[in-house]
Amino acid sequence: MSRRVDQYQNWSIHSTMSYESVKRWMSTRQNLKPSYRLRCLDALQIYSTYRGMNPEQLLNEYVKCRGNTDFRERVKPEDHVRA
C-alpha cells in the first residue's frame, strides 16, 4: 500500500511525462491531486498502447482530424485534453 502512495507522489516520473504535450497538459492541471494525475497518465499509457501510438502521435491525429495543422493552435487552453 505504501508503495502505491509513493507512486502517487512521483507522477512526474511516469513514462508518458517524457512527451512535451503531456508535460504541457499536466502543467495546466495544477489543481489535480497526485493520485488523479497518476490515474490519468496510466489511462493515457494504456490507450496509447492500445492504439499503437505515442501521446504526440495521438495529439497530431486529433489536430489533423480537426483540420488544424498549425502547431501554435495546439497550445490553446481549449485544445488541451480534458482530465
pLDDT tens for residues 39-80?
A: 989 999 999 999 899 999 988 887 777 765 565 555 555 555
pTM of the model: 0.66
Domain total of the chain? 1
pLDDT surpassing 90 at residue 29: no
User: Would you give the DSSP letter of residue 65?
Assistant: H
Q: What is the pLDDT of residue 64?
A: 77
By residue range, what is the domain housing residue 59?
2-79
